[in-house]
Structure 1
């Protein structure tokens, strides 16, 4: 259990989409995941990098389901369900994030959240499948999640299926929204999309740090949505952060890195978690990544 209290969740900014299985612009395994996510974060249609739908099969990817089915599940979510149901956990985490960030960022505007099955079309970042993992599209200010990714994260990438580890993934994508509001994504584009000290790596590590800031504050005070976070739950987050480092996903050659190493991802989440202050997350002002 991570969420406390009972009653309904705010589902106003969350919607469902489900196009099932198919052939779209991306796919092809873990090696391409980091490339495609970087493209989406930078507001680029993945097809422009990977060559179009005809070259990359995604048959067998995704869980099926229709918009209405996912929407019905979203609308049925309660705080209690968020402790056992992945879709409701995503919704509850967005609620918590939208409580924390307005107190930290002046003029904070809530992003939209889309929970999809199989594949999804964005408004400005092309099409994506569950193969790319969760992502944020700056063009439509929307965070996208296919819940089946969490199975892939545990079973294929070696991450944790612990609740807080899943919530960390959601918080990371909301971190990209905060960056968009503050102009960090534009700064990252000027610094390049690949390499150990590229704008993309700095952007991703800062989003990890912002996820840590949220975790620091999500259980703070009588109105907090999360139960007090435990050391074991933080250990689950660390396991996941290690599993999705560039060195684990694409090898030790840092020339192609887009997200940072396992060690770096853990370090910057920890910086945010220990400080609870987004000012400590300025990955653009240091070369000590």
Structure 2
């Protein structure tokens, strides 16, 4: 991936070596509704803790289970229940044990900057303004408004503070354990999580939470798959726009498709438990993930990423 001419985002918060530790006080998020489209006009953004992304898949954490963990179970919540949460102190974006502007931070900052440029253009073409998501770099453990973030959490997006979280050690795991090397595979991870932020702005995540309350576990899992596949498609749209800017190199798309394939639910289950249980899928099969990423990449059109077929 060619990043030499790409600006670095100012929205990277570097907590590595910051010692931010575990959770503050008790926490209950408030669930609010949302709309559809790009993005909501004056509507309430999602305030539920949906830890979505590919990190749980690597470490076997179901996002619906994690949602129950950080919210104390299903059901509705009131704003007053959020009063006990105390956010972690900000590191000011410069505190790090690896250097103020090391290669890892530069890479993440440039990829995040490219997502900001792409989604700003897309939202502008729809007459809207894109509100960028900050990205938190951490090492080992930190705090998020959705709960404690650790290396085992993997990369995720937290709607409560509207931030993406990532421990860069995850990239080593992606390469060694899952056979998905390459800088564009790493960029795909960030683009996928930013895709969840776009869903947040569109009102898709709050609608997902609202709908899953009355669903069986199997039906909620199936809806979760559609949320994840749309984020893959959005990552593909981002890849299309970066390719138009001449930022992609030969083999980059293959790296992303390989990563999508390696982290499909069926591939993970075969590798970890030797048997595939389709009703437990929450992110989609290898074929589905690669297909929806490819669809976004080939069309470059957000409207082609509707995985819900009228459900949301």
Instruction: Tell me the TM-score normalised to structure 1 length.
Output: 0.76
| Aligned partner (choices 133, 141, 147) of residue 154 of structure 2 | 133
Matched with 1:238 is 257
Deviations 1:231-280 (A, max 9, x none): x1111111111111111223521222111111110010000000000100
* Contact 2:171 2:186 (C-alpha < 8 Å) held by counterparts: yes
Instruction: Determine whether 1:151 maps to 2:176.
Output: no
* Contact 2:8 2:112 (C-alpha < 8 Å) held by counterparts: no
Aligned-partner Cα distance in 2 for 1:193–1:112: 34
1:163/1:115 CA distance change after superposition, 3 Å: same
Aligned-partner Cα distance in 2 for 1:31–1:144: 15
Matched with 1:113 is 135
Higher RCO (C-alpha 8 Å, min separation 6): 2
Deviations 1:95-126 (A, max 9, x none): 00000001212221011110110012102x11
Matched with 2:12 is 14
| Aligned partner (choices 61, 65, 70) of residue 35 of structure 1 | 61
Find the residue that maps to 2:308 and give its secondary structure.
helix
Instruction: Tell me the TM-score normalised to structure 2 length.
Output: 0.70
Deviations 1:12-71 (A, max 9, x none): 2111123679888xxxx977835354556x5x544857xxxxxxxxxxxxxxxxx85428
Provide the aligned C-alpha RMSD in A: 3.2
* Contact 1:201 1:257 (C-alpha < 8 Å) held by counterparts: yes
After TM superposition, list the pairs within 5 Å mapping 1:1-289 onto structure 2. Answer: 1-5=1-5, 9-10=8-9, 12-18=10-16, 33-38=59-64, 45-46=69-70, 48=72, 69-70=95-96, 73=99, 75-76=100-101, 85-105=103-123, 106-123=128-145, 125-158=146-179, 160-189=180-209, 190-191=211-212, 195=218, 198-220=222-244, 224=245, 227-230=247-250, 232-250=251-269, 251-285=275-309
Matched with 1:55 is none
Aligned-partner Cα distance in 2 for 1:201–1:194: 12
* Contact 1:193 1:200 (C-alpha < 8 Å) held by counterparts: no
Aligned pair count?
Answer: 250
